[in-house]
Amino acid sequence: MDDIAARLEAYPFLPPDAAPAEHDTLAAWVATHPAWASAWQQAQAARDTVEMAAPLFREPIDDEGLATYLTARIGPHAPPPVLRPRLEILDARLQADAALRRRADVIRGRLEAADRQVRPWKGGVR
């Protein structure tokens, strides 16, 4: 198989219509090359992460994408490595675009209000 490392690296970001065929091809290849099993598992996990964070990758960025961005940035855990390049792009866009920052601030307020409602010990509705 041609450049397996590059194909595994690209796999998480394939468009939905291309992913099933590539999945089958890579899975069959890895089945005969077990030394690549761990890298294949990591690529599959990264694809799952990218799919769950799909709103981050929409252009133009919409409110759901901004909410996903904010959740990744203000959450208690570091974002997964597969998302970091996209988060850095959005960091720069927010820094450069005042209107986008204002939208993000409104969404941040909504997220914080929702958090207080579901976790009253943090000062929300009791």
Q: Mean pLDDT, the chain, as a whole number?
A: 92
Q: Note the pLDDT tens digit of each residue in 79-106.
A: 999 999 999 999 999 999 999 999 999 9
Q: What would the 3-class secondary structure string for the chain be? A: CCCHHHHHHHHHHCCCCCHHHHHHHHHHHHHHCHHHHHHHHHHHHHHHHHHHCHHHHCCCCCHHHHHHHHHHHHCCCCCCHHHHHHHHHHHHHHHHCHHHHHHHHHHHHHHHHHHHHHCHHHCCCC
Query: Would you say residue 126 has pLDDT above 50?
Result: no
**pTM reported for the whole predicted model:** 0.79
Share of the chain above pLDDT 90, in %: 81
- The confidence score (pLDDT) of residue 123 equals 59
